Amino acid sequence: MRIDPARLARGLARQAMASVQTSARPAVTRRLHGLAAEMETLLMPRASVRVVSARMEGRDCLRLADGPELRGSFVNRFKGARKAAVVFATLGPAFAEHTSACFARGAAVEAALYDQIGTKAVWRLGQRLLAGLRLEARKDGLRAGGALFPGDPGLPLSAQSVLAEIGRPADAGIEVVAGGLLSPLKSLSMVVALGDDLKRWSRLSSCRECRYFERCRKPAETRQVCR
């Protein structure tokens, strides 16, 4: 899959900012609008996609590229997959560094806004990549199912190291650090099922399986960006 950074970035800041909640506070709303120009320069999304062979071994084990195993209670959703796309994406180091600097100098409102914008933007970046994968899959006569994200219900965060072994995080400027976290901040990884007749699922369906679903604010955000 060919990655065009300019296309990934186009309109990303504007869409992310439009979905940020400001609690109707005029001062916060004005500050949010004032960040528009900065956001266009700070958001520099990058991504890497690698498509490898995939096959199920048992119910909860997916073998990738005839090598590492991906294990988790939701891996069975890849039943019927012939391939898997391993994706790493980030908003870039400039955004993460600027957000950290805001927190460090005590600019609480600005830091909180950047954090919210970053969360929205990285979600939308993932959705753009997923849409691109679905289009490319159709060209090859395949169907793209849903995506699994390390750390979500059904796929432990430890899967991050497996995806890093198979994928190319360094090509996107991403590093897997201690505990399976990604650096820079506001980065993501996912694995997408590719096959002939796959069931498509949304990230929200995974959220519903989480024991904290009823208390979590994240599903409300998920509904806005995950289809």
Domains held by the chain: number: 1
The reply to whether 72 falls in a domain is yes
The reply to whether 210 falls in a domain is no
The reply to whether 218 falls in a domain is no
Burial of 8 from C-beta contacts in 10 A (0-12 / 13-18 / 19+): buried
Tens digit of each residue's pLDDT (9 = 90 or more) over 180-221 = 899 999 999 999 999 998 877 666 666 666 666 666 655 455
The reply to whether 219 falls in a domain is no
> Residue 212 has what pLDDT?
61
To the question of pTM greater than 0.95 for the whole model, the response is no
pLDDT along the chain (227 residues), means of 10: 77 82 68 75 92 92 94 89 96 90 87 88 93 92 91 90 95 92 95 87 64 60 44
> Residue 226 has what pLDDT?
41
The reply to whether 134 falls in a domain is yes
> Other CB atoms closer than 10 Å to residue 46's CB: what's the count?
20
> Residue 225 has what pLDDT?
41
Question: Widest CA span of the chain, in angstroms?
Answer: 56
Q: Which domain holds residue 164?
A: 5-201
Do the beta carbons of residue 194 and residue 137 sit within 8 Å? Answer: yes
The reply to whether 206 falls in a domain is no
> Residue 29 has what pLDDT?
72
The reply to whether 85 falls in a domain is yes
Enter the DSSP assignment of 102: H
The reply to whether 215 falls in a domain is no
Q: What is the CATH number of the domain that holds 165?
A: 3.40.109.40
The closest alpha carbon to 182, from 43, 46, 9, belongs to 46
Q: What is the rounded CA–CA span in Å between residue 185 and residue 106?
A: 19
